[in-house]
Chains A and B, each alone.
Chain A
Amino acid sequence: MNQPLILIIEDEESLRRFLIPTLSGHQYQVLSAATAHEGLAMARTHNPDLVLLDLGLPDQDGMAVLKDIRSWSRKPVVILSARNQERDKVLALDQGADDYLAKPFGAGELLARIRVALRHTLRAEVPEPIVSCGGLRIDLERREISLDGQSVKLTALEYRLLEALVRRQGKVATHSQLLAEVWGPGGEGNTHYLRIYMAMLRKKLEADPTRPKHFITEPNVGYRLILEAPGD
């Protein structure tokens, strides 16, 4: 397989200096741009497999760059954002970004996110029928869920929520995305429904609901289903 091409749009030179060698060292081809204008031009000419996009760019809002890319490409975009910018992150995710990384982040975290995002493009949104991790086994085809070999019964809504999370496995899912998928249009305001159902899922599917291994909360953003052992 070809080495995937990653475009970095980031104005901070120090970050570029860290990102470029790290990614090249892990079998990725790397392009980088320091401004939104330059980045968009490169994206159009090279059609990269993934874009790492900083939201705070000097010449144009990162959000505008995201919209532009989404108008012609479905390739994954991972947002680089500062801390305490939950609103921006949620906005970007709801505008079609695939995931985000909060600065400062480590190389391990960066590579994991890129791996998950690229895997989703390859699979083209069709989830594997059976996923499992640790004692948890989810069979979407036969609608069977088990924890440590014990079959677990889920209500219809719990199941739909689980399904939505499995489809995005490893990626963050915002509150509004999950609400729209599980409750349909009009469910947007009922974030607490989502939280309650999430708590039920954790009670049924986590060994210790106060220390979730799979159903991870991204505070004020959404949830992330992790179905791989750490370090995998």
Chain B
Amino acid sequence: MDSPLPPRPILVALGSEVRALRLIQAGFRLSRERAAPWIAVHVETGGSQLTEDAEQVQVWLQEAQRLGAGIRMVQASTLAQGLSEVTRSTGAQMLLLGRSRDRWPWARMGHSTADELQRRGLDTHIEVMDDRKQLSDSTASDTGFGAMVGALSVLAVSSGVAWLVPHEGSIALVLPVYLIAVTFIAHHWGQRLAVLASVLSALLYNFLLETPRFSHASAHWPNLLFFLAMLLAAQAVVGLLHRLRQQAREVHRREVHTASLYLLARALARCRTSEEVAAITAEHIRRAFKVEACLLFPQGPEWRAVPPPSLDPGLPPPDELLPRLDVGERPGDPLEPLSLGKTYCLSLMGTDRSEGVLQILPREPAGLPPGNWELLKVFAVQIALALERLRWLEEARKAQIESETERMRSTLLGAIGHDLRTPLAAIHGAAGSLLLPGDVTDSTRRDLLTMIQDESERLAHLLGNILDLTRLESGAIQIQKEWQPLEEVIGSALGRMEKRQGILPVRVELPEALSLVPLDAVLIEQLLVNLLTNAQRHAPGQEMELRAWNEPGWVHLEVADRGPGIPSGFQDRIFDKFFRLPGAREGGVGLGLAICRAIVQAHGGKIHAENRPGGGSRFRVALPLDGTPPEPPEGIL
């Protein structure tokens, strides 16, 4: 072989059941072990699927996808057909599926999907994951008419067999036949029918098999023994099965719990806000427990209900409720739900305090099955921890902002100390020498006056920048977005600069089509002036480029120069307040680009800097075209 063939994929067949999670985990593990790709397959067999099932299938498929699986959804008349198609088309090395849960034992024996797949002669290894005896809950139907008929048929068949057995009047040869029959009945239809069957089989034995046949006159001791044996066997089998069933149910319940907890925990880990936590939680609880759920949590001084409104408006407000939930009525276990009318309330107890209240409204009047409360309490802990985590994050963020403000304050003082004093000193000095008695030549006077003007302009500019940034960052500037042509604001920015400096070497490239952009003209003008001034400072006298182009949903602006470019590692830092490149020329105090970033952020846009191919740097701004553009006037565009 010249090049190794890529490993054949592993297929995992998923339905809506809980065990799908185990299949997903097994598929993931196998694909890791064998370094093979894996594909999660769902076959829709066209039967009327419940929406909840469909939703659940989506959840599983997404989960598989998250773990790196490819996704296939196929439609086929039977599961086996669909799976064999996918297996053939993907050339899968292995097919992993859960044991089919057919209702009837004969179906389970002959026609299981796995067997059918085997018969189709696929070149693939079929692995059936055992469901640990997923026993259906049959106790409810054990006295039904069908069950009765079934039991009678079983007894009839076994009597026929017993008839054929040459028993020679000995009970020892007939007993096992009936024992098997009664065990079978006990297994499938439960205790009551099994007892009935024991009695019946004793009678049948007496009537059919005991010599003389077809008489029930004689009732001697072997018959009694027979009857007792049947009864004991039925009891033993039923007891055993009951235990097994309970175990299976417990296993299943735990599996359901683990799966729903797993899904919840994963969903919670991705939440960034308390609202998200609440919305996701309510949805999960609604699905997992088939109840209505609502989460109340504090937001500032208010309480928020998600989804709104609170389930029962008659309930006392959370502030009053929490003390009752936490200690009052049931000291020791703050997690125990408090029943208020139809609604149950649970405190979401975090590590140090309650993070909120979970309201549950069962859809059925009987309330929740007892086992579910335990799970719900575990849910509550998970939710509380998620809310707590977000609360701490928020507090950490606030603390960071505070320290940032503190840092800003001290840097500001530093900047004022140096950058404000220098021009002031120059102005003061120049004015003083102009006032000195004695002759000053006209040219000297002019120089000094020009210096006073330049320095005061620099001061004004600096102060303006500091004020702008402070206002922008504190949110004191109300951004006034209006739809307007980009060229207008470009024109006013260039106009403002050229009024002072004369014609600038700026090449402007704008798209021909006149499109409106929602922006605050004053701020965007400032942005352009700052970017152009920055370019000018780093590439004095050289040509600058100002370009704009459209993209669906965005408009892009670019200011590019042919200066020395940005040293690597500083592309982000140049937007920081008071940041100046090491060894930068005489220039600003490092506020211009910080203002640019604040302006762009206030517009909901993005800004970044990079080096240009061929030398120089470029600053790119993307502004969102949010909202609907206004109607153009008639006859235009």
Annotate A29-48 by CB proximity to B: 1 below 8 A, 0 otherwise. 00000000000000000000
B129 vs chain A, min Cβ distance (A): 64
Q: In the complex, A187 Cα to B630 Cα: how many Å?
A: 14
Given contacts A219-B522, A220-B521, contact A199 B488 (CB under 8 A): yes
Does B485 lie within 8 Å of A199, measured CB to CB?
yes
Does A212 lie within 8 Å of B495, measured CB to CB?
yes
In this complex, what residue of A is CB-closest to B461? A104
Enumerate 27 A-B pairs (CB-CB under 8 Å) in ascending A order: A86-B522, A192-B483, A192-B484, A192-B516, A192-B630, A192-B632, A195-B483, A195-B485, A195-B488, A196-B485, A196-B514, A196-B633, A197-B633, A199-B485, A199-B488, A202-B487, A210-B487, A210-B490, A211-B491, A211-B494, A211-B508, A212-B491, A216-B492, A217-B521, A220-B520, A220-B522, A230-B499
Given contacts A199-B487, A210-B510, contact A84 B482 (CB under 8 A): no
Please indicate the chain B residues that have their CB under 8 angstroms from the CB of A211 in the complex: 491, 494-495, 498, 508
Q: In the complex, A195 Cα to B486 Cα: how many Å?
A: 10
Does B477 lie within 8 Å of A84, measured CB to CB?
yes
Q: Is the CB of A190 closer than 8 A to any CB of chain B? A: yes
A70 vs chain B, min Cβ distance (A): 26
Annotate A148-176 by CB proximity to B: 1 below 8 A, 0 otherwise. 00000001010000000000000000000
Q: Is the CB of A198 closer than 8 A to any CB of chain B? A: yes
Q: In the complex, A216 Cα to B632 Cα: how many Å?
A: 22
B536 vs chain A, min Cβ distance (A): 16
Interface residues on B, range: 35 or more
B59 vs chain A, min Cβ distance (A): 46
Q: Which single member of A84, A209, A220 contacts B491 (CB below 8 Å)?
A: A209
Please indicate the chain B residues that have their CB under 8 angstroms from the CB of A197 in the complex: 633
Does B482 lie within 8 Å of A192, measured CB to CB?
yes
Q: Is the CB of B480 closer than 8 A to any CB of chain A? A: yes
Q: In the complex, A83 Cα to B467 Cα: how many Å?
A: 10
Q: In the complex, A155 Cα to B483 Cα: how many Å?
A: 23
Q: In the complex, A218 Cα to B99 Cα: how many Å?
A: 76
Q: In the complex, A216 Cα to B494 Cα: how many Å?
A: 11
Please indicate the chain B residues that have their CB under 8 angstroms from the CB of A192 in the complex: 482-484, 516, 630, 632
In this complex, what residue of B is CB-closest to A197? B633
Q: Which of B366-404 contact A (CB under 8 A)?
A: none
Does B495 lie within 8 Å of A219, measured CB to CB?
no
Does B480 lie within 8 Å of A210, measured CB to CB?
no
Q: Is the CB of A191 closer than 8 A to any CB of chain B? A: yes
Does B633 lie within 8 Å of A193, measured CB to CB?
yes
Knowing that A192-B632, A211-B495 are A-B contacts, what are 16 other residue pairs whose CB atoms are under 8 Å apart, sorted by A's residue number? A83-B464, A84-B467, A86-B522, A192-B482, A192-B484, A192-B516, A195-B484, A195-B516, A196-B514, A196-B637, A202-B491, A210-B510, A217-B495, A219-B525, A220-B520, A230-B499
Annotate B442-468 by CB proximity to A: 1 below 8 A, 0 otherwise. 000000000000001000100010011
Please indicate the chain B residues that have their CB under 8 angstroms from the CB of A191 in the complex: 482, 484
In this complex, what residue of A is CB-closest to B478? A87
Q: In the complex, A86 Cα to B630 Cα: how many Å?
A: 23
Q: In the complex, A38 Cα to B498 Cα: how many Å?
A: 40
Q: In the complex, A200 Cα to B636 Cα: how many Å?
A: 10
Please indicate the chain B residues that have their CB under 8 angstroms from the CB of A198 in the complex: 488
Point out which of A192, A209, A216, A230 has the most chain B C-beta atoms below 10 A from its C-beta.
A192
A167 vs chain B, min Cβ distance (A): 21
